[in-house]
Chains A and B, each alone.
Chain A
Amino acid sequence: MNLTTALARLLLFPGLLFAVPAAWFFMWVERKAVARMQGRIGPPFMQPFYDFIKLLGKQVPPRSGVGGLLMKAWPLLAVASAAGAVGLLPVLPASGGFEGDLILLLALLEVPSMCLIAAGFSSRSIFGEIGSAREAVLSVSYNVVFLLAILSIAASQHTFRLEALSQLPVSPLQILGVIALLVCLPAKLHLNPFSLPNAEQEIYAGAMTEYAGPELAMWELSHGLEWVAGTGLVATLVVPHVTFMWLGALIFVALSFAIVLLLSAVAAATARLQIDTTVRFYWQCTLIFAVLAVASALFTRLRS
């Protein structure tokens, strides 16, 4: 993959130019689906775009010193890494990639939550600290399962290329891994029942309490991009093999859309769990999935 292809993938498709409207679209789908399931009308189609532009027009908060510089940097870093993660997704089948881009994708997907944690602490407000601490505990809990599930699928096939993963035949290991990923996605995306860092009436706005204006616009955008990247990752594993290029892309987006609807249904159906219940859920219940996935991966590798 040469430089121009890489830049095109990062900035055009499926990079920023595609990812940002896709992020707004998925955020709208989630809010509208949750609203419809609750019997409400929900926001109009352009709502995330209106929110973004309005936030850009707010007064810029004054930040001074190194702490201020850090506070300005965290949302930008979150957006950049989430956009990079979306840029790596194999939306078009057989679109090239490189060995190990799965690892890069997973690393880039981790960065926004790290930025959120750091932002809460660098904002020097007590609500920020509590929100960041909760996000850190949550992150430690779901990441074990998340990474074990996907890495075991990859390791069992001796490959770390996203494209190769998208062309795998269906196997029990893959189904197990996809279920484990779907269970971890609500925590990653701060959805009910694991929406602890977002607990509004409990801790004001958690890690983002002191953010305003354009910085907040960047945080919302990075949240939308995380949606695209997370659902895209699961869609990569589930997408069937199609030879015609743009049809494959369409199916990919449709699958991500279906996963968004599924996650919205789960979010509308459940209430927020407390931190101890969440941690217990991930360490006791879903760890079984991860252990089973690793075991079957080892078994498959030993057999092949």
Chain B
Amino acid sequence: MKLWNRLMCTCRRRSPWLFHMNAGSCNGCDIELVASLTPRYDAEQLGARLEGSPRHADILCISGPVTHNTVQAIKTVYGQIYGPKAVVAIGSCPASTNAYIDSRTLDGPLDRHIPVDVYVPGCPPRPDSILQGIAKAAEILAARGNNPPVLKNTDEPVLEPAACEAASKEVRQ
């Protein structure tokens, strides 16, 4: 059994499948994410594939300060991802709404809604930083195993409010 667990850990670390969502971003971070799939940076050397369906993915990459219109979509998609999963916040916008901090159309940083594992700062971050973020998220995914945060298998995610509240309090200080 131990051998199987070790094998599963290695395979989860070596095969992170991504799903990208744009939560109101200016598209700079999206362009850099797609640039990390180009020959110079090549995310495929890590085994990362940009998947078409959230059901297929392990890592959710979100860019953009979270607008009101996208909050429900993000929660839905997060709930649709199965199994051990991780979230990477790409750019400074999901971490803290960045330059849009006083906007009326935003709904706060990303960790108010879903638990975030890796933050990749930058405006936009370089593709090699994004690759580092993806590799780190894959390691976190492998170490996490089948433990929480695992969500119920519905389309509505069950969040752990305590974790999100604490994280958001720290950011707003």
Complex contact flag A–B (Cβ < 8 Å): yes
Pick the interface stretch among A56-64, A168-176, A264-272.
A56-64
Specify which chain A residues have a CB less than 8 angstroms from the CB of B83 in the assembled complex: 57-59, 212-213
Residue B45 interfacial (CB < 8 Å): yes
B52 touching A50 by the CB < 8 A rule? no
> Which residue of chain B has its CB nearest to the CB of A128?
B53
A212 touching B7 by the CB < 8 A rule? no
Specify which chain A residues have a CB less than 8 angstroms from the CB of B50 in the assembled complex: 200
Specify which chain A residues have a CB less than 8 angstroms from the CB of B52 in the assembled complex: 200-201, 203-206, 209
B153 touching A43 by the CB < 8 A rule? no
A-B contact count (CB 8 A): 94
Residue B42 interfacial (CB < 8 Å): yes
> Which residue of chain B has its CB nearest to the CB of A57?
B8
Specify which chain B residues have a CB less than 8 angstroms from the CB of A39 in the assembled complex: 39
CA–CA, A203 and B150, complex, Å: 28
B82 touching A58 by the CB < 8 A rule? yes
Classify chain A's interface size.
35 or more
Residue B129 interfacial (CB < 8 Å): no
> Which residue of chain A has its CB nearest to the CB of B151?
A59
Q: How far is the CB of A67 from chain B (nearest CB, A)?
A: 16
Sorted from nearest, which 8 A-B pairs have the closest CB atoms? A58-B83, A200-B52, A205-B53, A59-B83, A205-B52, A53-B11, A39-B39, A212-B55
| A-B contacts, 17 listed (Cβ < 8 Å) | A35-B42, A40-B45, A41-B45, A43-B45, A43-B47, A49-B11, A50-B47, A54-B8, A54-B14, A54-B58, A57-B8, A59-B84, A61-B82, A206-B52, A212-B55, A212-B83, A216-B56
Given contacts A62-B153, A212-B55, 19 further A-B contacts (CB under 8 A): A35-B44, A39-B39, A41-B45, A43-B44, A44-B47, A46-B14, A47-B15, A49-B11, A50-B47, A51-B17, A51-B47, A57-B84, A59-B83, A61-B55, A200-B50, A204-B52, A209-B53, A209-B55, A210-B53
